[in-house]
Amino acid sequence: MNQDRTSGTLRRRPVQKRSAERFERLLDACAELLDEVGHTALTTKEVARRAEVPIGTLYQFFSDREGLIGALAARNLEAFLDRVAVRLEREKPEGISGVVDVAVEEYVAMRRTITGFGVVDFGAVGRDHTLDPALDNNTAVAGRLRSLTASLSGVQDDADLEIAVRVALECADGVLRLAFRSDPQGDPQLIAECKQVLNSYLNSRVGH
C-alpha cells in the first residue's frame, strides 16, 4: 500500500459569505473537472478558471492541487455522513444490518449523482492520506462511521466495533468499486452481494 503522507493541506476556511461562495465554487469546479479530465490531468489553473476565481484566491485557501482535492473529499465525507445520519434518525433501524443497508445505499446514490464522486469519493486515487495526514483514508472514514453507528444504532463502541468496521469498510470499498467497474450505475447484483457480505460479517462480530 502506498503510504503517501505528502498530501496538500487546506490553508484556511473562509468566514465571510463572499469567500465561502468562492470556496464552494472552487470545490464544484474541481469536481466537474475530475469527471471530465480525471485526477492526473487536473490543474489548479483550470479549476480557478472554471470557478471564475483568481488563482491567487485559490492558493489562499489551498496549498496545492492535493489540498483542493482533499477539501473536496472531506466535503463528500461530511455529505455522506449527514445523509446516513438523517436516514438512521428517520428510519431507526434495529441493530447493525439496518445501518449497513443505509450506508451502502447512500454511498451508491452519491456515486450515481454527485459530480466528481466517482473519481475522489473520500480520497484521491493513489493517495492514502487525503483526509488526514496521520491516517489512511479508509481508517479515517471508518472512525467516523464507527462513531455514527454507535450513537444511532445502539451498538457498543469498543475495540471489537473498531476493527470490525475497519475490515467491513475495506470489503465494501473493493466490492463497490467492482460494482461500478462492471456497470457505470453500479451492478445491482454486486451491490446486493456487498450488503449481504457486510451484514453477515458484522452481525457475527458485533450484531445483537
Task: Please write the tens of the pLDDT for every residue from 105-136.
Answer: 999 999 999 999 999 999 866 566 677 777 78
pLDDT-wise least confident of 37-41, 51-55, 154-158: 154-158
pLDDT at 155: 65
| 11 part of a folded domain | no
| 4 part of a folded domain | no
Q: Does pLDDT of 6 surpass 50? A: no
pLDDT at 12: 67
Give the pTM. Answer: 0.87
Range of the domain at 127: 17-205
State mean pLDDT over 192-201.
96
State mean pLDDT over 134-160.
76
The count of domains in the chain is: 1
Q: Does pLDDT of 206 surpass 90? A: no
State mean pLDDT over 148-171.
79
State mean pLDDT over 67-96.
91
Please state, in angstroms and rounded to a whole number, the distance separating the CA atoms of residues 15 and 20: 6
| 33 part of a folded domain | yes
Give the domain CATH number at 150: 1.10.357.10
| 9 part of a folded domain | no
State mean pLDDT over 31-60.
96
| 118 part of a folded domain | yes
3-state secondary structure 122-190: CCCCCCCCCCECCECHHHHHHHHHHHHHHHHHCCCCCHHHHHHHHHHHHHHHHHHHHHHHHCCCCCHHH
pLDDT at 15: 67
pLDDT-wise least confident of 50-59, 60-69, 138-147: 138-147
Please state, in angstroms and rounded to a whole number, the distance separating the CA atoms of residues 70 and 75: 9
| 2 part of a folded domain | no
Question: Residues 34, 120: contact at Cβ < 8 Å?
Answer: yes
Angle at 153 between CA 190 and CA 130, to 5 degrees: 60
Task: Give 195's contacts (C-beta < 8 A, 6+ positions apart).
Answer: 100, 101, 104
Q: Which of 132, 162, 130, 159 is nearest to 145 (CA)?
A: 162
| 3 part of a folded domain | no
Q: Does pLDDT of 80 surpass 90? A: yes
pLDDT at 9: 65
Please state, in angstroms and rounded to a whole number, the distance separating the CA atoms of residues 8 and 77: 17
C-alpha cell at 86: 438523517
Average pLDDT over the chain reads: 87
Position 135, amino acid: L
pLDDT at 30: 98
Please state, in angstroms and rounded to a whole number, the distance separating the CA atoms of residues 152 and 127: 31
Burial letters 106-126, b for 16+ CB under 10 A, else e: bbbebbeebbbbebbbbbbee
